[in-house]
Amino acid sequence: MNYSPNKVPARAGVGYKPQHLDEILAEPNSIGWLEIHAENYMGDGGPQLAQLRYLRERFPISCHGVGLSIGSEGPLDKEHLARLKKLVDWLNPSLFSEHLAWSTHDIGYLNDLLPAPYTPQTLSTVIDHIDQVQEVIGRQMLLENPSVYVLFEQSTMNEIEFLNEIVTRTGCGLLLDVNNIFVSTTNQQSSAEDYLADFPVEHIGEVHLGGHDAQTDDFGDPLLIDSHNAPVVDPVWDIYETLIKRTGPLPTLIEWDNDIPEWPVLANEARLADVILNRRTKAA
Amino acid sequence: MQSEFAKGLLDPNLPTPEGVVGPGGRPAGKRYDVYRNNVVVSLTEALASAYPVIQTIVGKEFFTAMAGVFVRKHPPESPLMIYYGGDFPKFLTKFQPAIHLGYLPDVARVELARCQAYHATDASPCAPEKLANLNGNKLYDARIVLHPSIDIVRSRYPVFSIWRYNSTNDKSPIGEAREITMISRPASEVVMQNPTAGAATFVESLMTDPLGVATDKAKGVQPDFDLAGNLTALLSAGLIADIQQREM
């Protein structure tokens, strides 16, 4: 099949939800690209795959995996990796990303992005897994920084050191989720500005923006939860603007996966990201 | 490490895993519970989206409590959440708090078949001429290749009517008689039908037998079974993917 995709542009895109299809097609220029969750398109057939077949000819597509469990202590699920390869070979997405997290264990697939301690042992496993993914899929993957709620006493390096090692040793790129920076640093009572200042921004291939839920922990301190069910908050827009001033425009995704809003609300979030991207384009 | 972390997610009685802490090394408490909650809530939502009629029948509160038991006992075996919940109909046959709703497992089987039909392999309908060209001797040995999405659920309850009442605007009264439900997805929508005993036997038999055998079996359960009418109906519904003549 000679299908060649369009490159994801350095402007705003959205996570594709079937309920928005008609409106997206009615105003296709309101967004630059779409991202899909790989696992939703691993059925044998049906309307979801048919929609994707249609969309990929009209929009640049980014393929975002949520189920590979790259941070697992055990081996990667070869069957799942083969399904991912089949999808990526067919879809030929312009970007492909996965998470620094694990979700599969002997007891089953837990459907959440679970954290791992930052130790030499985790590092070596993650590097092996990314090497394996890139070899099987036959392209570079972007690794996303996680939202975390806990810390591990076992950790011997910080997240930035951990990501730097991974990038150096696997040649993968990074997907920087700015909301995740805000959620994790708030939860860890550390500085988002410091995190961003140290982040190896030259390896970023894509940015995520999304909303979170604010709760408190047992001590009354803020406990933010990466819920993807709300607009992007102002402090996250501020970190994003700082990032874009430094890097120049990057493909930026609005993620809204729960309590999915009407299209105009989502389109407006994308427009706000485009405003920041355009400001930087003009300044450059 | 991950073994302890994972087990605790499905068992609220287990302590926070060793080494998992909050800022400054203080106890993680609610922070670990965020993961516990994420796992159970996201799996419950996945189950609810596959089984909306079960949720309507038992109510959201009951469904959520029941799902809490199910998801801890049967976490997904693969990351394909579009297929999660295959064990749910069987689970319902043994779930004591709902055991008085004897029809519930069969309603769940219908909903599971809908999910599977939705994601089943696509197939284009075969050209009507292929049916017209069948004649006499060829007829008995011909193979009718059905659309891959077709499934039949037999129940001793009026499950088709229960499903229809709870998921469409058709509020026809629900009778007492047993019902058969045929589920398919010839194009983009899942289609629900209530075939006669003969029609259901015919379709089930066609999945493995040649046309003649399927016809005999259908007539066995329903002497007035109308072969031409049933074939035409399947064909016009887009449910016949191919008709293959036996090689001579």
pLDDT tens, residue order, chain A (284 aa):
446 667 999 999 999 999 999 999 999 999 999 999 999 999 999 999 999 999 999 999 999 999 999 999 999 999 999 999 999 999 999 999 999 999 999 999 999 999 999 999 999 999 999 999 999 999 999 999 999 999 999 999 999 999 999 999 999 999 999 999 999 999 999 999 999 999 999 999 999 999 999 999 999 999 999 999 999 999 999 999 999 999 999 999 999 999 999 999 999 999 999 999 999 877 65
Which of B23, B82, B118 lies nearest to residue A188, judging by beta carbons?
Answer: B23
User: Is the per-residue pLDDT at B99 higher than 50?
Assistant: yes
Position B94 pLDDT exceeds 50: yes
CB proximity A283 to B under 8 Å: no
For chain A, what percentages of helix, strand and coil (3-state, to nearest 5) are there?
Answer: 45, 20, 35
Chain A hits for B11, Cβ within 8 Å: none
pLDDT of residue A2: 47
- Indicate yes or no: CB of B7 within 8 angstroms of CB of A215: no
pLDDT of A283: 64
Place of tokens 């007035």: B224
- Give pLDDT, residue B2: 94
As a whole number of angstroms, the distance between CA A252 and CA B126 comes to: 45
Mean pLDDT over the full length of chain B = 95
pLDDT, position B135: 72
Closest chain A residue by Cα to residue B27:
A218
User: Count of domains in chain B?
Assistant: 2
Please indicate, yes or no, if residue B106 is contained in any of the structural domains.
Answer: no
- Determine the structural domain holding residue A74 and report its residue range: 12-283
Sign of CA dihedral A15, A20, A22, A27: negative
User: Is the minimum CB–CB distance between A42 and chain B shorter than 8 Å?
Assistant: yes
How far is CA B101 from its chain centroid?
A: 19
Assigned domain for A3 exists: no
Task: For residue B143, list its beta bridge partners.
Answer: B244
Q: How far apart are CA A177 and CA A87, in angstroms?
A: 24
Q: Are strands B151-155 and A222-225 parallel, antiparallel or unpaired?
A: unpaired
The reply to whether A133 touches chain B by the CB within 8 Å rule is no
Share of chain A above pLDDT 90, in %: 96
Residue-number span of the structural domain to which B37 is assigned: 1-101
Return the pLDDT at B53: 98
B129 and B228, same domain (yes or no): yes
B6/A107 CB distance under 8 A = yes
Q: Is residue A32 part of a domain?
A: yes
- What's the half-sphere exposure (Cβ side, CA atoms, 13 Å) at A87? 26
Q: Give the pLDDT confidence score for residue A3 in this predicted structure.
A: 61
Residue (of A263, A175, A186) closest to A226 by Cα position: A186
Asked whether residue A5 is assigned to any structural domain, the reply reads no
- DSSP H helical ranges for A34-177: 47-55, 78-91, 120-137, 159-170
**B34 vs A contacts (CB less than 8 Å):** 149, 223, 225
Best mutation target among B44, B81, B185 (most A Cβ atoms within 10 Å) is B81
The answer on B134 and B93 residing in a single domain is no
Contact B27 A218 (CB under 8 A): yes
Q: Are residues B149 and B29 in the same domain?
A: no
B133 occurs within a structural domain: yes
Domain final position from B101, B135, B161: B101
Residues of A in contact with B29 (CB under 8 A): 217-218
CA pair distance A197, A190, nearest whole angstrom: 13
Identity of residue B47:
L
CATH classification of the domain holding A252 = 3.20.20.150
| Domains identified in chain A, total number | 1
Q: Is residue B178 part of a domain?
A: yes
Band of the pLDDT at B248, cuts 50, 70, 90? low
**Chain A residues within an 8 Å CB radius of B20:** 150-153
pLDDT value for A4: 65
| Same-domain status, B95 and B131 | no
Give the pLDDT confidence of B194-219 residue by residue, as tens digits: 999 999 999 999 999 999 999 999 99
Q: Pick from B101, B130, B156: which residue ends a domain? A: B101
Residue type, A15: G
Here the CATH number for the domain that contains residue B204 is 3.90.930
Whether B241 is in a domain gets the answer yes
**In-domain check, residue B114:** no
Which residue in chain A has the smallest CA separation from B19? A153
Pick B34's closest partner by Cβ from A103, A117, A149. Answer: A149
Of A80, A110, A117, nearest to B6 by CB-CB distance is A110
pLDDT band at B246 (very low <50, low <70, confident <90, very high): confident
Which B positions 21-50 lie with beta carbon below 8 A of chain A?
A: 21-32, 34-35, 38-39, 42-43, 46
Domain assignment present for A82: yes
Same domain (yes/no): B161, B95: no
In-domain check, residue A7:
no
